[in-house]
Chains A and B, each alone.
Chain A
Amino acid sequence: GAVVSQHPSRVICKSGTSVKIECRSLDFQATTMFWYRQFPKQSLMLMATSNEGSKATYEQGVEKDKFLINHASLTLSTLTVTSAHPEDSSFYICSASDSLGYEQYFGPGTRLTVT
């Protein structure tokens, strides 16, 4: 149980375009979803936290207009990187927690390359 999927697993886009990443909880209702970014040889950095039906809470230094997060249902959250630049190239990982909240279930990650 507690499976989280992400789509796509890899994406290459041109600078200036937008790209959407989906995060789905497959067998449980995700009350809260989290989005992380991980640069090579670094740890996971929390970008934002979203609760279903509410606006996401962004961490300091993360531009909410650039990284649009939508958590429209209890099983789906999306991250849209708008007007992507090469410096946005990174590994993006989502996670989800249920109503108990003390554990996060991680998706497999999406590797974004902006050319």
Chain B
Amino acid sequence: AQKVTQAQTEISVVEKEDVTLDCVYETRDTTYYLFWYKQPPSGELVFLIRRNSFDEQNEISGRYSWNFQKSTSSFNFTITASQVVDSAVYFCALSEANTGNQFYFGTGTSLTVIP
């Protein structure tokens, strides 16, 4: 079974629109970590955020915000006022304490911001 599901394969938005990237995860561990990474065309993964399972507070960092809901096993990512530079593939990942902190990546969401 897929541990991390990113149902949106590709999204296109017009610059300045808000966009939410969905991430649903599956785990039986009580201790786990959730991550978001950005992968621009260069290929290098850019770390965006880490959340542990005991911290459900939402987080805002500039135009980025994250909504962690354990009740729905979701960790969604919103970009406000999108910009062309936000165009990239975004990956959600899960790390479980009981599996040696192996990362489980979602299939990624390719975001295109149209000027």
* Chain A residues close to B by CB (< 8 Å): 32, 34, 38, 41-44, 46, 49, 91, 93, 95, 97, 101-106, 108-109, 111
Asked whether A43 lies within 8 Å of B43 as measured between CB atoms, the reply is: no
Q: How far is the CB of B99 from chain A (nearest CB, A)?
A: 11
Report the bound CA distance from A59 to B101 in whole Å: 15
Please tell me which one of the listed residues A91, A101, A109 contacts residue B101 in the complex, with CB atoms under 8 A apart.
Answer: A101
Please tell me which one of the listed residues B45, B97, B103, B106 contacts residue A46 in the complex, with CB atoms under 8 A apart.
Answer: B103
Q: How far is the CB of A102 from chain B (nearest CB, A)?
A: 5
- Give the secondary structure class of A's interface: strand
Q: How far is the CB of A4 from chain B (nearest CB, A)?
A: 10
When C-beta atoms are compared, the residue in chain A nearest to B103 turns out to be A104
Number of interface residues of B (CB under 8 A): 22
A34/B100 contact (C-beta < 8 A), A91-B43, A109-B43 known: no
Residues in A whose Cβ lies below 8 Å from that of B45: 93, 106, 109
When C-beta atoms are compared, the residue in chain B nearest to A91 turns out to be B43
Residues in B whose Cβ lies below 8 Å from that of A104: 95, 101, 103
Residues in B whose Cβ lies below 8 Å from that of A108: 42-44
